[in-house]
Amino acid sequence: MILRYLVIEGIAISSVLGSLAPGSAISSGLADDVLKIQGGKILSGQVTISGAKNSALALMAGTLLCSETCQLQNVPSLVDIRLMTKILTALGVRVTTNGDVVQFDPSHLTSTEAPYELVSKMRGSFFILGPLLARMGEARVPMPGGCSIGSRPVDLHVRGLQSLGADVTIEHGVVHARAKNGKRLVGASVYLDSPSVGATENIMMAATLADGETIIENAAQEPEIVDLAGFCNAMGAKIQGAGTHRIVIQGVEKLHATDYRVIPDRVEAATFILAGAITRSTILVNQINLSHIAPILAKLKEIGIGYEIESPTSLRVMRSASYRGTDIETLPHPGFPTDVQSPFMSLLALADGNSVVTETLFENRFMHVAELTRMGADIKVKGNVAMIRGVASLSGAPVIATDLRASAALVIAGLAADGETIVSGLHHMDRGYDRLEAKMQGLGANLIRTTIAQSNA
């Protein structure tokens, strides 16, 4: 089906023809933002990475553990952050934002029940279950929503909280957790069947105010876990072992106010590094933690993309005339992160030779492949394996971002493609990338966010 659209930039109007999937934000006939990218431009200059979305959301939930005002610095400006702010506000937290500094006053919580219409939009909102239960002795949180990248059940969260002495029921899509004695949880040994980041964070927060010692075995090791433990410890918690498979928490009576800085976003850092690599550019990426992106840097070195470490927090991507394919398997940290799989695939689509990408964590994380193929990539998918044959070039096309990380993959591909790429579904991108287009423009990328509306022609 061929549809015609009007692209509105100020007073300039041009027509765009393209085949778009039914049910998308654009094909619904409603006005929507798109990103128009003129590819083939060499990037230059430097970019500063924002605070980590996945860490900031957990830390925001963690403020519920304290009855005093806490402050977070380096909080990114994102749709998901604003949504979490609304959820906390609905619970009675007073939230004050000044740039990337946000203050939270949870001293007078007015509710233990989170509103469905907010929680259902974002999976990260489920982080409030553990701290709300620990602080108030009860919590009602609807089942979470978010990107449709695969099954992410909450059973590990539930079983962990049950181990700490909570009665948990799930009725009509709402998780109701209550401490058995009505007030405090009790420390226990918790073994996670898989190293779930969300379950580790929820159980760890709940255990900070439990009576006695809690041990989490087979815990997730991601940097966001370490950051959350650092934040809780800054409030007076006693957590040891974060970043390893065994976390030990000694429960305390209460927590106190603190001022804490969110770690840099390792996925955003990887995205800009890959943008420099795919456009054969030299750019400086600032405010990063090199240890957090070690798996990505190892793969870049393996395929022949050069980089220089400018400082402990800065990396310069060097222009590489060519690079070769490789094999990637996504794994929990410290393995190759699943959140970087799709943007890295855009890079491999233009590599010399063949590559194989195996996705082990989410079954629906190859939805970007059809869009890259629309741009001329040669990718075949069988089950959880994508086989990539590098091509000489990509060509611009209308494409749809199907999830958060797919949006970055398509933007990166568009930067390197011949001609114009129009990326729709930007609501996914806005959930996890702080001013992505403005930062890309600062590097010299030729792209602009516009409004697109369907015509009746």
DSSP assigned state of 212: S
**Beta carbons within 8 Å of 374's beta carbon, 6+ residues apart:** 397, 398, 399
User: At 246, phi and psi to the nearest 5?
Assistant: -130, 110
Sequence-ordered list of residues with C-beta below 8 angstroms from that of 264, at least 6 positions apart, any chain = 49, 50, 51, 52, 74, 287, 288, 289, 292, 313
Active site residue 70: no
Give the residue from 309, 327, 307 showing the smallest Cα distance to 318: 307
308: left (phi over 0), alpha (psi -120 to 50) or beta: beta
Helices 53-62 + 197-208 axis angle, to 10: 30
Tokens of 428: 């996914």
Name the helix (H) or strand (E) containing 178. strand 174-179
Q: Is the peptide bond before 398 cis (omega within 30 degrees of 0)?
A: no
Backbone angles phi, psi at 311, to 5 degrees: -160, 175
Q: 3-state class of 412 per DSSP?
A: helix
Q: Where are the alpha helices (DSSP H) in 235-282?
A: 266-278
Catalytic residue among 66, 70, 147, 232: 147
User: Which pair of tokens denotes residue 110?
Assistant: 């007015």
Instruction: Name the nearest CA neighbour of 216 among 183, 184, 185, 194.
Output: 194
CB atoms within 10 A of CB 12: 8
Tokens 């970087």 correspond to 340
DSSP-derived letter for residue 186 is B
Structure tokens at 163: 């181990």
Q: In the block, which residue shows the tokens 């997730």?
A: 220
- Give catalytic residues, as residue numbers: 147
